[in-house]
Amino acid sequence: LNHKFEYINSELKEIKKYSLYRKMHDSKIAGAYITVNSKTLINLCSNDYLGIAQPKLSNKQNQSSSRLVSGNDSSFRILEEKLAKHKSQESSLIFPTGYMTNLGVISSLVRKNDLVLSDKLNHASLIEACKLSKAKISILNTSI
């Protein structure tokens, strides 16, 4: 299986070479402030302009913009570590919906010159993800 995904390592190397590698860092958001590496700063990378993402849930989890932009609430990291351990995997990644999972995973793994054999009745998220990948798509009718 590893050799099939060797291109991922080479792409990652290229991305790192140009300092374009993005990594999530833990942060804690409280109202207009964000704490990163023990420093509390005014959060100017929030998309929560109206302040409606205030923590109302008992776990006090708050994410005012993308995890890559405003930092990663540690509760996500902890859950992902637990899920990875539970599934005996190196790591895991939580997506907010099934739609976003298909879009994110397929458009990342499938490349322009790949061939995708896609069932005619596939979910819209799979169809859109394949389109995003720019791969060749062959529609199959596997329904009985």
Chain residues in the site for ligand PLP (CB under 6 A): 97-99, 102, 123, 125
**Among residues 31 and 104, whose Cβ is nearest to ligand PLP?**
104
**Nearest approach, Cβ of 13 to ligand PLP (angstroms)?**
32
**Among residues 123 and 136, whose Cβ is nearest to ligand PLP?**
123
CA 58 to chain centre: 25
3-state SS assignment for residue 28? strand
**Among residues 28 and 131, whose Cβ is nearest to ligand PLP?**
131
**Nearest approach, Cβ of 95 to ligand PLP (angstroms)?**
9
**Nearest approach, Cβ of 16 to ligand PLP (angstroms)?**
32
- CA 122/CA 7 separation, integer angstroms: 27
In terms of phi and psi (left: phi > 0; alpha: psi -120 to 50; beta: otherwise), the region of 98 is alpha
Residues 6+ apart with CB under 8 A from 51: 31, 32
> What is the chain's alpha carbon radius of gyration, rounded to the nearest angstrom?
19
Q: Report which residue's Cβ sits closest to ligand PLP.
A: 98
**Among residues 107 and 125, whose Cβ is nearest to ligand PLP?**
125
